[in-house]
Amino acid sequence: MVERNKKIEKLLSFPGGAQQPPGLVASAAKMVPFTFLSIIIVGILAFGIVDRGPWTGPDTTGTALIKFCLSAFKQNSPPACFFPNLYGIKLEHEAPLFFFIAAYIISAAEQAYLFIFGDSLPLEYVDDFGRILQVLCVLVALIFLWLGTKILGLRRESRPSDPLGIGPDASTFGNNLGTCAVLLTLSCLGLVFRWHEVGSEGFSFLFQAVCFFAMCQGPEKPKESAVIFSVGLVALFFGTSVHVSLSILLAAIFIFSFIYPWTLVKKSFLRSTFYFLTSTILIVVLVLVYQSDESQNFYLWINGQLNLFELRPFYVIKNWLWTWWPLWPICLVMLYNLVKFEKFNQPHLKFLGILLIAQSFFPLMGLLTNDGQKFLPIVPLTVMAAFGLLFLPKIVADLLDWFALSLFTFLGFIVWFYWIALHSGLPVEVFANITRAAPGISEVVNTNDLILGVIISLFWIYLILWRLKFIHPNIWRPVVLSAGGLGLTWALLITLWGPALNINRGYQNIQALLKPVRNETVCINRDDKKLIAIVAAHSETKIVPYNRNLNKNLCRYLLVRGSPAYATVEEQTWIKLSDAYRKSDSKKRELFTLYSRN
């Protein structure tokens, strides 16, 4: 047992440690190539945001919320959509601010479009704009993340020991550390898909990064930082969820109360934050008093947020093992070295540890959230992993490299294998599976997509060869293949399989079902929030939610979802017009039926 512990200690401690060796310190001086970083950002963020319809899940719900807000703006009643709802049906798990801002910008763009072209902006581009806005939020968030990490790295107590004087100066070290945090964010497996949906994930990341930046510069500029922090906190409260804003507030109180050098400005920072948040609360109360109709909606939304609860810690941790990859292995190795050398007194690591624990506690315990397995405390996790690269042994770095090389090469092979099967018809079984998953997919080769796919694959091969030849120790070297592989694999998937994904995850048949009644009024059961969101996102049909007792005079048409729907519809009142399944629903699990009033 003793011998085994010695082997583990040797494995995780060489060449890392609380006192980093000179070679590793010197490696922090070499910057990440700008071209490589640009290609990764483009590969992850620029592909899959336009030229497609809303997909199942948050993409559809987000598009529906924006469209509902646009209709509220046209009726001169913007407050009607400030608290998330679809035609009066409350969506307590959603936060309003992102959708409200997106609708406001689209409304302004629509006015400009009308002035320039003399025509209204097509509504089918609403979801594209929502995804573009999400990606812009992510880009700005990466800037704030880089700035905050740089400030943290500039602190004397954050820099590694350099007895030989061969390491980087403070500015270079901070810049490189910030770039590593950006690279690690882009390599995180749990974010790439969610950043390409119409939702508040990018918006949440932006203001988490803003709060992090404000806290990092708090010791130097306490009052200015308190204002920035408070703005970010309010935006998180109305733009994400209660648990995210509350966890960051609790972390800030603890950090400024007990951790040096933040304790030096505790009174100034916390007092300014208290004044700003108190003023915001008073303004919200006054607005609700003035808008008495919205006070009840605000109460329902807050009550719904506070009632969210789902305690499944083991299920959450199981999902975090892949959504947090490759960040958590780096953090664990750093934690091992800190425990081994008893180096718990480093302020920057205390700062990040408190922020990580505070943000992870609520989803892990299921408090104020029912979707904890999807939550990712990306800011403290990536910055901690960036510092953890200084502790990373060569053997662990090589393991991360080989895992990324194997995973993304395999995924690239699968993408090409299925693409060849689609256009050649062989193997027959694979071709049958493809056409069943995406019925109606074109079998004609798109030359532009083919050329772009080949270029992306060549980039991946070049990156592998460059990594094999690159032997100089750099702290960012272990995440080159992880970030590059994820970005290029995503770009390849969208390039070759974008149309198939649009069919598989879209609602084209439901759009066709509703096309004859696009200018009519359709009744939908108010308990079926998913169906209301689908119709609102994919058509211009006016929706009237109804309770169990349906008044047939409310609308001319009735739409129901699910095979048991026939039993709930009175045959004497309603006549079945047509029905449809989603194209990819080969097992016919979810039936959509349209009825007309008799």
Would 101 be classed as within a structural domain?
no
Which residue is listed with tokens 């069943």?
436
Q: Are 309 and 359 in contact (CB under 8 A)?
A: no
Would 569 be classed as within a structural domain?
yes
Do 306 and 431 belong together in one domain?
Answer: no
pLDDT over threshold 60, residue 4: no
Would 65 be classed as within a structural domain?
no
pLDDT one-digit tens code per residue, 519-563: 888 999 888 999 999 999 999 888 999 876 666 677 889 999 986
For residue 96, the Cα-to-chain-centroid distance in whole angstroms is 16
Do 163 and 235 belong together in one domain?
Answer: yes
Do 492 and 542 belong together in one domain?
Answer: no
pLDDT over threshold 50, residue 8: no
- The per-residue pLDDT of the chain, averaged, comes to 86
Q: Provide the pLDDT confidence category of residue 448 given band limits of 50, 70 and 90.
A: very high
pLDDT at 165: 57
Least Cα distance to 289 among 304, 277, 274, 299 occurs for 299
Least Cα distance to 337 among 4, 19, 6, 24 occurs for 19
pLDDT at 371: 74
Would 110 be classed as within a structural domain?
no
Q: Where are the alpha helices (DSSP H) in 14-76?
A: 22-27, 34-45, 58-74
Q: Which amino acid is at 544?
A: V
70: left (phi over 0), alpha (psi -120 to 50) or beta: alpha
Do 295 and 150 belong together in one domain?
Answer: yes
Whole-angstrom Cα distance, residue 116 to residue 110? Answer: 10
Do 276 and 187 belong together in one domain?
Answer: yes
Which one has a higher pLDDT value, 160 or 574? 574
Do 379 and 454 belong together in one domain?
Answer: no
Domain-terminating residue out of 506, 541, 564: 506
pLDDT at 163: 55
Total domains in the chain come to 3
333: left (phi over 0), alpha (psi -120 to 50) or beta: alpha
In DSSP notation, 371-414 reads -GGG---HHHHHHHHHHHGGG--HHHHHHHHHHHHHHHHHHHHH
Domain-terminating residue out of 488, 506, 524: 506
pLDDT one-digit tens code per residue, 133-172: 999 999 999 999 999 999 999 888 777 666 555 566 778 8
pLDDT at 571: 64
pLDDT one-digit tens code per residue, 53-109: 999 999 999 999 999 999 988 888 888 888 888 988 888 888 899 999 999 999 998
How many CB atoms are closer than 10 A to CB 401?
A: 20
Whole-angstrom Cα distance, residue 355 to residue 217? Answer: 15
Do 381 and 443 belong together in one domain?
Answer: no
Would 150 be classed as within a structural domain?
yes
Q: Which of 47-51, 165-169, 567-571 has the highest mean pLDDT?
A: 47-51
pLDDT over threshold 50, residue 10: no
Do 260 and 370 belong together in one domain?
Answer: yes
pLDDT at 26: 46
Residues 294-304, mean pLDDT to the nearest whole number? 79
Would 183 be classed as within a structural domain?
yes
Q: Which of 165-169, 191-195, 340-344 has the highest mean pLDDT?
A: 191-195
**Degrees to nearest 5, angle at CA 16 with 11 and 22:** 140
Whole-angstrom Cα distance, residue 416 to residue 422? Answer: 10
How many CB atoms are closer than 10 A to CB 242?
A: 21
Q: Where are the alpha helices (DSSP H) in 516-597?
A: 529-538, 565-568
For the chain, the distance separating the N- and C-terminal CA atoms, rounded to the nearest angstrom, is 80
Q: Provide the pLDDT confidence category of residue 11 given band limits of 50, 70 and 90.
A: very low
pLDDT over threshold 90, residue 447: yes
**Per-residue tokens: 172:** 């270079």
pLDDT at 550: 64
Do 377 and 253 belong together in one domain?
Answer: yes
Least Cα distance to 248 among 368, 124, 394, 415 occurs for 368
Q: Provide the pLDDT confidence category of residue 567 given band limits of 50, 70 and 90.
A: very low
How many CB atoms are closer than 10 A to CB 406?
A: 12
Do 484 and 580 belong together in one domain?
Answer: no
pLDDT at 474: 77
Least Cα distance to 170 among 338, 342, 274, 28 occurs for 28
Q: What's the helix, strand, coil split of the chain in %, to 5?
A: 65, 5, 25
Would 98 be classed as within a structural domain?
no
pLDDT at 27: 54
Least Cα distance to 56 among 406, 506, 425, 386 occurs for 506
pLDDT at 568: 59
Residues 244-273, mean pLDDT to the nearest whole number? 95
Residues 401-416, mean pLDDT to the nearest whole number? 96
Do 290 and 420 belong together in one domain?
Answer: no
Do 500 and 515 belong together in one domain?
Answer: no
Would 57 be classed as within a structural domain?
no
Residue 580: give the domain boundaries. Answer: 509-597
Domain-terminating residue out of 348, 368, 392: 392
pLDDT over threshold 70, residue 254: yes
Whole-angstrom Cα distance, residue 143 to residue 501? Answer: 31
pLDDT at 476: 84
